[in-house]
Amino acid sequence: MTGRAPPPAVGTASPAPLRWAREIRLGVQLSVTGGRDAWIRLALVASGIGVAVAVLLVAASWPTMAEARQERHDARSYELDRQTPESTDQTLLIAYADTSYHGESVYGRLLEPEAPGAPAPPGVTDLPGPGEMVVSPELKRLLDSPEGRLLRERLDYSIVGTIGDEGLVDPGELAYYAGAAPDLLSSEETGRSERIDGFGTSRFDFPRGGETLVLALTGAVVALLPLGVFVAAALRFGADRRDRRLAVLRLLGADRWTAARTACGETLIGALVGTAAGFALFFPLRGLVPSVQVGGVSGFAADIVPHPLLAVAIPIGAVALAVGVTLVSTARAAADPLAAARRASWPRRRLWWRAALLTGGTALLLSSIGADPGRFGRVPETAVVGGVLLVLLGAGLVTPWLFQVAVSRARRGGVPWLLAVRRLQADGAAESRAVVGLVVIVTGAVALQTLFAGIQMRYADEEPVPGERVYRTDVPELPPAGAAEVAERLSAVPQVRDARAVVEYWHIEGPNDPVSLRVGSCSALRDHARIGECSDGDVFAVEGTSTRVEEGQRLRIPDADGAATWELPEVKRSVAPRDPSGLGEDPVPGSVLATPGAVAGADLPRSGVSAVFGLDPLTPRAVEEARNAVAELSPMGTTVIGQTSDSERERELDRIGALVTAGVGASLLVVGLGLVISAVERLRGTKRELAVLAASGVDRRTLALSVLAQATIPLAVGLAVSLAVGVPLGAALLRIAEVPVAFDIGGIAAITAASAAVVLSVTVLSLPALAKAIRPENLRAE
């Protein structure tokens, strides 16, 4: 190049890729050398994208985590349907001993090795001896704490070790393996124990309840949508300033695409730093996951590995989204530099396509109502998710239009109000964007809360009346006299009412078909059939059974040692069956009811006792005490079931509820941050005007009130839309889940209160900038 050559104009000197790289580098430079503002913008963009990437990475680990959970679950299971193996030096007797404690289920098994070579379950190195147990870390913590006192009484074994992670479904699981007392377990079919020669089973899928599925789907939509909104909002932080920079570049002679590439360079650095931050954030977040249960599901940190495809797609997607949003949002500044130099005006907002989204979503949801009545787990998922998505997006997009209408209609009010309204009217783009995010999130949250309220209300309706006999327990492997013993033991618990028990024999071989036999006192038998007059020694046949039972028939009752036989004495009469606990059990086919006197000579074997009772007063503690009473009779008799509000499902709902609350909180935080940034930017941009107003005697209170109004108006519009759309949306979802509609006034009040708190915080956080803006120094010409 000679000395006389003209300096290379922008975009003529070198081949395109090189030139582009230089332009992008210029953008990068602009984004880091623009002083404090540029750094703040960069930090905001990076942290916005960082949070989104980290959360998405965790979400992308979900399949891996679910897989790992399932694998561990399968590894510790054993086949029940398989032929029981012969007793060898490789076999183990194992019995189901699950229990519940204040709604938390406890996985429990009793073990009795038949030889030294007996297999150990995963996570257990040495099998516990009689009277000993190994426990999961979480159970150990619970047993050691005062809250676990009643459970400690129930699980009266000495703790000799912990179950390793590989033996637990998730880190929060309560689980124990206890050594059974000698001769407690048998491998008979009738009992609860099994003989196995190893652990591990093939897959078995459990269907989820319909309402939980709707909740989970809505939750997923609500959780992922804001992330997109958040990233888009983060990318627009400080966009005004950037637009002005681009305009300067254009006026200096850069063409449209050069300006666009420079803008991309500026965003790119934020997106890349953000993606890196996201990956960096992912690891501590991963460590946090075991302590957080999502929808009742938790996982080990080691399981949280993003699906490889998603792990690649997320950063690429984040950067692509960043660049895309930048290109779209700078298109106007790049095309018409003078427009950016002028004050931005409102784009014209059209209603029809925004309303169309809302209508489309509503139609989809309405079509899902009653689509498949009566069967949970068969909800039309695609329509529900699509409908929810459309309604949420529609609500979000209708908001800027409503906001604009609301602001341009507002006329009355004092000076602070006037200032705020006019400011929003002149340029409410930032507020409008912030509110879109808010509406999407809060509408979703309100819908979810309505859904909860309905589901919880249903459980509340079904809550048992104190004293009502809806509790049932089954104690395995007791002698025929055990029924009376169980009833007596239960009655010893102060709050237990009307405890009555029968011994149940299933799979009795009769001359025609198998029959079942229940032995109990007259009063206990009345639970099962309308037997009328009764005295010890009587035998009844239950009506309506296909199998005839007649006097003199010989019934063969299998036993560990062979079989006992009992000749059926005179049947007093046929009686109509009853459902003892109202749990919806079908009448037992070929059922015989006998009083203890009638079977006295038969030498019947041990079998399961079923007891029904009520609780009054009805307290969670009473349930636990009843469980303990039963556990004293048999370590395998640890379950008491009944319809209580303290159910597993309820806890799951609570967890999702907590998650929704956290989501709403986080999104309000983001919206608040956006409002603070736009308020502060605006205060700084108009500091001269503000200083003049202050000098002219406008007091600080008036100006602060206008900042308050400026934050209140967008949030109020947003909340109004959220409630107007969210409540009907929740009601529609309740109808889909076939739950009666109910509303959660408390939750809505909480969201409103939280929004008010956000408005106040925004104002308070803007006050320093206001104080700075109205300083007399700003009166001087720059």
Partner 1 sequence: MSAAGTEAPPPAADEALGGTLLAARGLAKSFGPTTALERASFDIDPGEMVAVMGASGSGKTTLLHCLGGIIAPDRGWILYEGRDLGAMSESERSGLRCGDFGFLFQSGGLVPELSCLENTALPLRLNGVGRRTADARARERLESLDVDGTAHQRPGEVSGGEYQRVSLARALVAEPAILFADEPTGALDSLNEEKVMRLLVDAARRSNTAVVLVTHEARVAAYADREVTVRDGRTRDLAPGAAG
Q: Which residue of 64, 643, 647, 686 would you call a contact of partner 1, by CB under 8 A?
A: 686
Output 261 or 687, the one with its CB closest to partner 1.
687
Q: Rounded to whole angstroms, what are the CA distances from 736 to 370, 660, 729, 763, 774?
A: 6, 20, 11, 41, 56
Q: How many CB atoms lie within 10 A of CB 429?
A: 18
Output 567 or 699, the one with its CB closest to partner 1.
699
Output 264 or 424, the one with its CB closest to partner 1.
424
Output 184 or 424, the one with its CB closest to partner 1.
424
- Binding to partner 1 (CB under 8 A): which residues in 751-780? 776, 779-780
Binding mask 94-113 for partner 1 (x = CB under 8 A): --------------------
Report the alpha-carbon distance of residue 676 to residue 769 in Å, rounded: 10
Q: How far is the CB of 241 from partner 1 (least distance, A)?
A: 17
608 beta partners = 504
Output 415 or 749, the one with its CB closest to partner 1.
415
- Binding to partner 1 (CB under 8 A): which residues in 354-413? 412
Q: How far is the CB of 318 from partner 1 (least distance, A)?
A: 36
Structure tokens at 220: 């997923």
Structure tokens at 515: 């029959």
Helix 700-736, helix 745-773: angle, nearest 10: 150
Does position 781 bind partner 1 by CB under 8 A?
Answer: yes
173, with CB counted inside 10 A (0-12, 13-18, 19+), is buried
3-state secondary structure of 179: strand
Output 82 or 700, the one with its CB closest to partner 1.
700
Question: Which residues touch 47 (CB under 8 Å, ≥6 apart)?
Answer: 234, 274, 277
Inter-residue contact 337 to 256 (CB < 8 Å): no
Cα-Cα end-to-end distance for the chain? 42
Binding mask 332-351 for partner 1 (x = CB under 8 A): ----------xx--------
Does position 693 bind partner 1 by CB under 8 A?
Answer: yes
Helix 381-409, helix 210-235: angle, nearest 10: 40
Report the alpha-carbon distance of residue 271 to residue 268 in Å, rounded: 5
Binding segment toward partner 1, per CB under 8 A, in 24-32, 619-627, 687-695, 730-738: 687-695
Report the length, in residues, of the chain: 782
Q: Which residue of 71, 699, 753, 757 would you call a contact of partner 1, by CB under 8 A?
A: 699
Q: Rounded to whole angstroms, what are the CA distances from 118 to 200, 487, 507, 733?
A: 14, 37, 30, 51
Binding mask 405-444 for partner 1 (x = CB under 8 A): -------x-xx--xx--xx-xxx-----------------
Binding mask 484-503 for partner 1 (x = CB under 8 A): --------------------
Q: How far is the CB of 656 from partner 1 (least distance, A)?
A: 44
Does position 37 bind partner 1 by CB under 8 A?
Answer: no
Binding segment toward partner 1, per CB under 8 A, in 274-282, 294-302, 350-358, 691-699: 691-699
Q: How far is the CB of 745 from partner 1 (least distance, A)?
A: 38
The count of chain residues that interact with partner 1, using the rule CB under 8 A, is 28
Q: Rounded to whole angstroms, what are the CA distances from 298 to 66, 108, 169, 289, 777?
A: 9, 19, 9, 7, 57
Report the alpha-carbon distance of residue 296 to residue 655 in Å, rounded: 6
Q: How far is the CB of 750 from partner 1 (least distance, A)?
A: 34
Q: How far is the CB of 753 from partner 1 (least distance, A)?
A: 30
User: What does the radius of gyration of the chain's CA atoms come to, in whole angstroms?
Assistant: 35
Q: How far is the CB of 719 from partner 1 (least distance, A)?
A: 24
Cα–Cα–Cα angle for 240, 243, 249, rounded to 5 degrees: 150
Question: Which chain residues interact with partner 1 by CB under 8 A?
Answer: 342-343, 412, 414-415, 418-419, 422-423, 425-427, 686, 688-689, 692-699, 702, 776, 779-781
